[in-house]
Structures are given as C-alpha cells and as structure tokens.
Amino acid sequence: MSRGKFITIDGLEGAGKSTQIDFIKKYLSDRNRDVFLTREPGGTDLGERLRALLLDKNIDAMNPDTELLLMFAARNEHVKKVIVPKLEQGVWVISDRFTDASYAYQGGGRGIPLERIGELEQWTLQDFVPDMTFLLDLDVELGLSRVEQRGEKDRFEEEHKDFFNKVREIFSNRASKYPERIKLIDASKNIDETSSQIKKILDLL
Ligand SMILES: Nc1ncnc2c1ncn2[C@@H]1O[C@H](COP(=O)(O)OP(=O)(O)O)[C@@H](O)[C@H]1O
Ligand SMILES: [Mg+2]
C-alpha cells in the first residue's frame, strides 16, 4: 500500500478554508481516496483542549512564546499520534491549518523571529512538511467581512487589521519561498471559482 498524501489548507479568517476543505474531501473521496479531515490547533484530545485555551479570549494576554509553544505542543501530538500513522495506513490527511500558520500568526502577527520558529519546527517535526498546501489568499477586509456574521470572536479574530496584514504578508512570503509545495489560490473569487483553482491542482497529484 502506498503512503497517503498530507494536504494542508491555510489563510486568513474568512478565506474559505472550511468551505474548500469540504470540497477537497468530496473531490478526493469521489476518486476513491480514503480521506481524513483534521484541524489545527487540535486534532487530538489534548490538542483540542489546547485549542480551547489558545482561542479563549478570556485568558489574559498570552506571552507570544507561550502561544507558540502551545501551538507546537498541540502539533507535535497531532503529527505523531494521528497524521503520520494515518499516512502510513495509506490515508490522505487534510488539515485545516498547519505549521505555515505558526510562521504567519506567531511570526508575522506576534513578531517572533522566524528563525526561532524554524528551530522549534526542526526540534519537533524535523523535515516533516505537507506534500501540498493550498494558501487561500485574499484581502484582509474581505476575509473579515465574511466572518462578521459568525458571532462571538475568538482570541485571534479579535485582532486588528494591521495584525492580519502582517499575517498575510508572511503567508505570501512563504508561498514565494516554497512554490513547489505552497499553491497560492485567489480566494477573493466566488466559492465555485475558488474550488476550480484547487481542482486543477489536485488533478496533478
Ligand atoms: N469564495 C467565497 N465567496 C464568498 N463567501 C465565501 C467564500 N468562501 C466562503 N465564504 C463564506 O464566508 C464565510 C467564511 O468561510 P469559511 O470557509 O468558514 O472560512 P475560514 O474557514 O477560512 O475562516 C462563510 O460564511 C462562507 O460561507
Ligand atoms: Mg474555518
């Protein structure tokens, strides 16, 4: 049996990650792939509990390094207990967010030097990276306008426009740096047009 592929989807709030991950799952399942959907932070019992802490806006301002370490603690569990075992069983794993988000949010947004994040990535995951990443790119204001109706905001969604602009910039820089892996998708288009950009790339896998 061949190893499954690890696909991640990332981008700003309201970019359409949850919407498009459902499309990817259906598209691959229709092609007889065994697909498993998961998310970060989260994906394990411990990871979901860490997620609740990370998103809880009632927690006093968290030190940025603490936030980064909790993200990687959750990710370490997720990769070792869920993602790698599934891939070894031939399952295709699709994660809503992954390490690129730590560079964008904790690096770009919170200002932690990217080299430090790289050290933590090496320490926990060595060279484990997704086979393919869809980066859903769109204007910060458009993304935020799409999530406005969502109701109560979490600890990240409460941030301001300049925070998200820095997040977007790091995402874009990473897409330029790793063009083979990170596929830049124009997420300002409507849902079907966005899916069709993703479909064209999935067809190459
Ligand atoms: N391409 C799109 N155009 C317009 N609205 C969209 C598009 N993609 C998603 N939406 C809507 O925007 C909101 C946020 O989408 P969602 O998939 O939850 O984004 P994310 O998971 O990236 O935060 C949802 O109400 C969704 O229906
Ligand atoms: Mg979502």
Exposed, middle or buried, 146 (CB in 10 Å: 0-12/13-18/19+)? Answer: middle
Residue 156 CA to ligand 2 centre (angstroms): 13
Specify the residue with its C-alpha closest to ligand 1, atom 3. Answer: 190
Look at residue 1 in the predicted model and tell me its pLDDT.
81
Look at residue 136 in the predicted model and tell me its pLDDT.
98
Shortest-distance ligand to the CA of residue 40: 2
Q: Is the peptide bond before 179 cis (omega within 30 degrees of 0)?
A: no
Residue 157 CA to ligand 1 centre (angstroms): 14
Look at residue 21 in the predicted model and tell me its pLDDT.
98
- Distance (Å, whole) CA 87 – CA 1: 10
pTM over 0.95: yes
Shortest-distance ligand to the CA of residue 42: 2
Look at residue 32 in the predicted model and tell me its pLDDT.
95
- Distance (Å, whole) CA 92 – CA 34: 6
**Could you read off the pLDDT of 146-155 as tens digits, one per residue?**
998 888 889 9
Q: Which residues of the chain have pLDDT under 50?
A: none
On whether the CB atoms of residues 127 and 48 are closer than 8 A, the answer is: no
Look at residue 190 in the predicted model and tell me its pLDDT.
98
Q: Which residues surround ligand 2, an ion (CB under 5 A)?
A: 17-18
- Dig out the tokens for 40 from the structure: 């970060």
Look at residue 158 in the predicted model and tell me its pLDDT.
87
Residues in the chain: 205
Look at residue 60 in the predicted model and tell me its pLDDT.
87
Strands of 182-186's sheet in order across: 35-39, 92-96, 6-11, 132-137, 182-186
Could you tell me the domains of the chain? 6-202 (3.40.50.300)
Mutate which of 21, 146, 154 for ligand 1 pocket (most atoms within 8 A of beta carbon)? 146
Please identify, by atom number, the ligand 1 atom nearest to the C-alpha of residue 20. 17
- Distance (Å, whole) CA 184 – CA 179: 8
Residue 32 CA to ligand 1 centre (angstroms): 27
Please identify, by atom number, the ligand 1 atom nearest to the C-alpha of residue 12. 22
